[in-house]
Chains A and B, each alone.
Chain A
């Protein structure tokens, strides 16, 4: 027993009931409760409260697990470009319809993915006009670029290979994202057309691909495994989709 003259605190009463009290204080608390009936009554009421909670809810833990919560059912099949919600919305998108919205004149409270895409488009428009300093680390240092961005961002950042669509990696930089760092990669063609790939942690539930335009720029957004991706570039839907599709395919394969 410690010095019994140290008065027992409110916190200690709770800790006593919750088995969080250091052993040497137990005696003091018990002595206190013996001589303070009001506190003893409260402590007893907490014990009764715990019994009531267990009586009411323990049976839920004893029920058989419902089918809908079986892990096998919940594990998602690998995402394939050609089926699923993303593909459906993309096909509609190329055909000229489908989901889309304009950044200006959007609804009063932009959703998570709308502001995410707005951030990415802002970055796109800011940096694609740069002649001397479009990126921080050049594409010639691809390995270092990927390692650096992966380390700062916390997920596997992978710079897709877009040569087959005429785009070479200019390089990349680190940006502030909505919930932590964002990785930003820039590609350009021989004719000077530029595309950017912006990725950051995204808490949105959206799994469909979303499209937006702002003046002459277009952007496609999707989220996968807690990371949001925005491919920005031309507002030409077919071209933008072609590039985004390659980025998506390679991210899927490389965990990017």
Chain B
């Protein structure tokens, strides 16, 4: 297998984790990863070097954005309960963090996960989202504030998704 393919393959577990946190549903998450991998493999010729890791996160983040945009035809109500069982920690805690993430707008959720779960630098996240570092930081600050509020027991309300 080429070095390029090896570096793509090595990223699959991390991409699955990120996708699961981003999309909540396990099947949708793996769909996102699959689409990301297909695109990455197809674009091997067009990949001009640089960081494979950031590039893959960028593809996945954009695919999720497109997926959500095409879902947003009619107003839908978000389900209150996570449809995946929690495997570690107390069940309630797992549901809480997942639920808290769901209250974030997409850009904030992506920044929070890329920094806190995936351990990327602010610079890397800025490149992935195509925004200045200052924007990354303000999204992160807002995301942390919202999640903190959600975890501290503000009543989770039905959120109307546009």
| A binding-site residues for B, Cβ under 8 Å | 10-11, 14-15, 18, 20, 42, 45-46, 49-50, 52-63, 65-66, 68-69, 71, 74-76, 154-155, 225-226, 255
23 pairs from A and B in contact (CB 8 Å cutoff): A11-B137, A11-B141, A20-B122, A45-B148, A45-B151, A46-B116, A46-B148, A54-B117, A55-B88, A55-B93, A56-B86, A56-B88, A56-B93, A61-B16, A65-B12, A71-B8, A71-B9, A74-B38, A75-B41, A76-B38, A154-B46, A225-B42, A255-B45
Which residues on the B side are within 8 Å of A15 (C-beta)? 122, 137
B30 within 8 A of A: yes
Cross-interface CB contact of A71 among B1, B30, B86, B122, cutoff 8 Å: B1
Which residues on the A side are within 8 Å of B42 (C-beta)? 76, 225-226
Decide if A71 touches B5 in the complex (CB within 8 Å): yes
Decide if A53 touches B117 in the complex (CB within 8 Å): yes
Decide if B46 touches A62 in the complex (CB within 8 Å): no
Which residues on the B side are within 8 Å of A58 (C-beta)? 17
Decide if B30 touches A63 in the complex (CB within 8 Å): no
Which residues on the A side are within 8 Å of B115 (C-beta)? 18
| Given A20-B122, A65-B13, A74-B34; A52-B89 close (CB under 8 Å) | yes
A128–B121 CA distance with the chains assembled, in angstroms: 52
A49–B152 CA distance with the chains assembled, in angstroms: 11
Per-residue CB contact flags for chain B residues 119-162 toward chain A (1 = under 8 Å, else 0) read 00110000000000000010011001001100100000000000
| B binding-site residues for A, Cβ under 8 Å | 1, 5, 8-9, 12-14, 16-17, 20-21, 30, 33-34, 37-38, 41-43, 45-46, 86-89, 93-94, 96-98, 113, 115-117, 121-122, 137, 140-141, 144, 147-148, 151
A74–B136 CA distance with the chains assembled, in angstroms: 33
A98–B75 CA distance with the chains assembled, in angstroms: 35
Decide if B87 touches A69 in the complex (CB within 8 Å): no
The total of interchain contacts (Cβ-Cβ below 8 angstroms) comes to 105
A108–B40 CA distance with the chains assembled, in angstroms: 33
Which residues on the B side are within 8 Å of A68 (C-beta)? 30, 34
Which residues on the B side are within 8 Å of A42 (C-beta)? 148
Q: How far is the CB of B142 from chain A (nearest CB, A)?
A: 11
Cross-interface CB contact of A74 among B13, B41, B144, B151, cutoff 8 Å: B41
Which residues on the B side are within 8 Å of A52 (C-beta)? 89, 93, 96-97, 151
Which residues on the B side are within 8 Å of A74 (C-beta)? 34, 37-38, 41
Decide if A57 touches B20 in the complex (CB within 8 Å): yes
Q: How far is the CB of B35 from chain A (nearest CB, A)?
A: 9
Decide if B46 touches A155 in the complex (CB within 8 Å): yes
A36–B89 CA distance with the chains assembled, in angstroms: 31
| Given A20-B122, A60-B20, A63-B13; A55-B37 close (CB under 8 Å) | no
Cross-interface CB contact of A20 among B14, B38, B121, B147, cutoff 8 Å: B121
A54–B113 CA distance with the chains assembled, in angstroms: 10
| Given A55-B88, A71-B8; A66-B30 close (CB under 8 Å) | yes
Top 4 A-B residue pairs of the complex, sorted by shortest distance between their CB atoms: A61-B17, A61-B13, A55-B89, A60-B17
Interface centre among A56, A69, A154 (most CB of B within 10 A): A56
